Amino acid sequence: MGKKEMSTYHRPFPNTWWLKRKPYVLFMIRELTSVFVAGYCIFLLVFVYKLTQGADVYGNFIDALKSPSSVALHFIALAFVLYHTITWFNLTPKILVLYKGEERIPQGLVAGMFYAGWVVVSVIVALFVLGM
């Protein structure tokens, strides 16, 4: 029977912790996608700014946007923003816990409401854009 003072063992928690399990990887991607969401918001601000600078400046800007690299970048951004949106919509039932009497409103339904709202807004935007 040793009389050594008892010491607990603290396991290291490496920086690569998020590579250990799939849910953590997905979480990290979700965090990463917010960079793209933020980036695209800045882009939209620039877009509006250019619009105020007169037709010429705006025209050049639009032309630049048509370059293949810019289009590619847009697709990448779209993919990330979609990922971001979907993961967050799927999380909404955790934030919005609704009850009808004793029964909790199913989580799928809550998330579904957001998807439905998304579709409606997208259709309106599409009509607006295409209608122009």
Partner 1 sequence: MITNHDIVMIGGGGAGLRAAIAIAETNPNLSIAVVSKVYPMRSHTVAAEGGAAAVIKDNDSLENHIHDTIAGGDWMCDQDAVEYFVNEAPREMIQMEHWGCPWSREPDGTVAVRPFGGMNIERTWFAADKTGFHMLHTLFQTSLKHNNITRYDEWFATKILVENGRCQGVTAIELRSGKIEVIAGKATIMCTGGAGRIFPFTTNGAIKTGDGMAMAYRAGVPLKDMEFIQYHPTGLPGTGILITEAARGEGGIMLNKDGYRYLQDYDLGKPLDIDDPSHPVKKSMELGPRDRLSQAFVAEREKERTIPSSYGHVVHLDIRHLGEKKIDKKLPFVRELSKNYAGIDPVYEPIPVRPVVHYMMGGIDTDINGATSLPGLYAAGECACVSINGANRLGSNSLTELLVFGARTGKAAARFALEVPHPDKNSLELQTADEQKRITRNFFRKGRGTERIFSLRKEMNETMETSAGIYRSGKSLKETCDKIKELKDRFVNIDLEDKSLNFNTELTSALELEFMLDVAEAIAYSALKRTESRGSHQRSDFPERDDENFLKHSMAYQTNTKPHIDYKDVIITKWPPGERVYGKEK
Partner 2 sequence: MAETMKLEIFRYHPEKDNEPTFQTYEVPFLEDWVILDAINYIKDEIDGTLSYRWSCQMGVCGSCGMMINGVPKLSCAVFLKDYYPDKIRVEPLTGFPVERDLIFQMDDFMTKLTEIQPYIIRNKDEEKPLDEGEYLQTPAELARFKPYSMCINCMLCYAACPVYALDSTFIGPAAIALGQRYNMDSRDHGRDARQELIASHEGIWECTFVGECSAVCPKDVDPAAAIQRAKVSSTIDWFKDVLIPWGKKK
- Residues in contact with partner 2 by the rule CB under 8 A: 2, 4, 6-11, 13, 17-18, 20-21, 23-24, 27, 31, 91, 93-95, 97, 99, 101-104
Q: Choosing among partner 1, partner 2, none, which partner's interface includes residue 74 (Cβ < 5 to 8 Å by kind)?
A: none
**Residue 129 makes contact with partner 1 by CB under 8 A:** no
How far is 86 from 29, CA to CA, in rounded Å? 12
Interface with partner 1, residue 55, by CB under 8 A: no
Angle at 49 between CA 119 and CA 82, to 5 degrees: 25
Q: Return the structure tokens found at 80.
A: 């990330």
14 binds, among partner 2, partner 1, none (CB under 5 to 8 A by kind): none
Specify the residue, 10 or 66, whose C-beta has the smaller distance to partner 1. Answer: 10
Out of 6, 42, 95, 129, the only residue in the binding site for partner 1 (CB under 8 A) is 6
| Residue with Cβ nearer partner 2 (7 or 69) | 7
Cβ-proximal residues to 113 (8 Å cutoff; 6+ apart), any chain: none
Buried b (16+ CB within 10 A) or exposed e, 100-125: eeeeeeebeebbebbeeeeeeeeeee
Cβ-proximal residues to 127 (8 Å cutoff; 6+ apart), any chain:
none
Instruction: Report, in Å, the least distance between residue 8 CB and partner 1.
Output: 9
